Chains A and B, each alone.
Chain A
Amino acid sequence: GENVGLHLPTLSVQEGDNSIINCAYSNSASDYFIWYKQESGKGPQFIIDIRSNMDKRQGQRVTVLLNKTVKHLSLQIAATQPGDSAVYFCAENMDGGNKLTFGTGTQLKVEL
């Protein structure tokens, strides 16, 4: 099957609970960060972004936190729903350049 040999970090949460997905980024000069959601058989879908001059940004049911001191990014999903089950990627714009570099992804599983 598609996931044979796949060993993504997995986060399992109960429906209705809050989810926190973490990401350690690599470059202290990165100034733009994005979270993406990828459902099976689809392309990554933009969730929320944040620039380095901010440490928190909120969207609908989602919050991104940026800690530049420890180069850490997190995505919080409130009241997690079955439709939130997917692989989540963080991405950073390294060196303020022209490309986004993606992290390894976290599988979020929502249990009913």
Chain B
Amino acid sequence: DTAVSQTPKYLVTQMGNDKSIKCEQNLGHDTMYWYKQDSKKFLKIMFSYNNKELIINETVPNRFSPKSPDKAHLNLHINSLELGDSAVYFCASSQRTGDSPLHFGNGTRLTVT
């Protein structure tokens, strides 16, 4: 069984479009995250939610809006996509914040043309 699953795996779209990435975890974890991995493999946190409440927002443009309908789901909506948004986006979850390992999904490769 997949612990952290995100869809779609690949997303190709044009500049200016709006798109969403969905994430679900079946680990019973309280905390979920979105990370962005650039072309140099650098992983940077974007958002973190704990029990549906936003606890980390790392100066991400407000075109990015996370939504957590319940603690097992954390979706990412992106408005007015730009070329620089092209990256791999990873969803993750953890049992606690800050001192327990993150469990990652397999990523969504977003390509903006």
| Chain A residues near B (Cβ < 8 Å) | 5-8, 31-32, 34, 36, 38, 41-46, 49, 51, 87, 89, 93, 96-102, 104-105
CB neighbours of A89 from chain B (8 A): 43
Q: How far is the CB of B64 from chain A (nearest CB, A)?
A: 16
The reply to whether A42 and B107 contact each other, CB–CB distance below 8 Å, is yes
Binds A, one of B12-20, B67-75, B76-84, B95-103: B95-103
Given A99-B45, A102-B43, the answer on whether A93 and B107 have CB atoms closer than 8 Å is no
Give B99's nearest chain A residue, CB to CB: A32
Residues of B50-109 at the interface with A, using a CB-CB cut-off of 8 Å, are: 50, 55-56, 58, 90, 92, 97-99, 101-107
Give the residue of A7, A43, A49, A98 whose beta carbon is less than 8 angstroms from that of B97: A98
Give A51's nearest chain B residue, CB to CB: B99
Given A43-B107, A44-B90, the answer on whether A100 and B39 have CB atoms closer than 8 Å is no
The reply to whether A31 and B99 contact each other, CB–CB distance below 8 Å, is yes
CB neighbours of B103 from chain A (8 A): 46
In the complex, the 3 A-B pairs of residues with the closest C-beta atoms, listed nearest first: A43-B104, A102-B43, A98-B97
State A38–B48 Cα separation when bound (angstroms): 21
State A99–B100 Cα separation when bound (angstroms): 10
The reply to whether B105 and A43 contact each other, CB–CB distance below 8 Å, is yes
The reply to whether A42 and B98 contact each other, CB–CB distance below 8 Å, is no
State A104–B58 Cα separation when bound (angstroms): 18
19 A–B contacts, CB within 8 A, in A order: A6-B39, A8-B40, A31-B99, A41-B107, A42-B106, A42-B107, A43-B4, A43-B92, A43-B104, A43-B105, A43-B106, A44-B90, A89-B43, A97-B98, A98-B48, A99-B58, A101-B45, A102-B43, A105-B42
The reply to whether A98 and B90 contact each other, CB–CB distance below 8 Å, is no
Give the residue of B50, B99, B102, B105 whose beta carbon is less than 8 angstroms from that of A46: B102
CB neighbours of B45 from chain A (8 A): 99-101
Given contacts A43-B92, A87-B41, 7 further A-B contacts (CB under 8 A): A5-B39, A6-B41, A8-B41, A42-B106, A98-B98, A99-B97, A102-B43
The reply to whether B98 and A32 contact each other, CB–CB distance below 8 Å, is yes
CB neighbours of A100 from chain B (8 A): 45, 98, 102
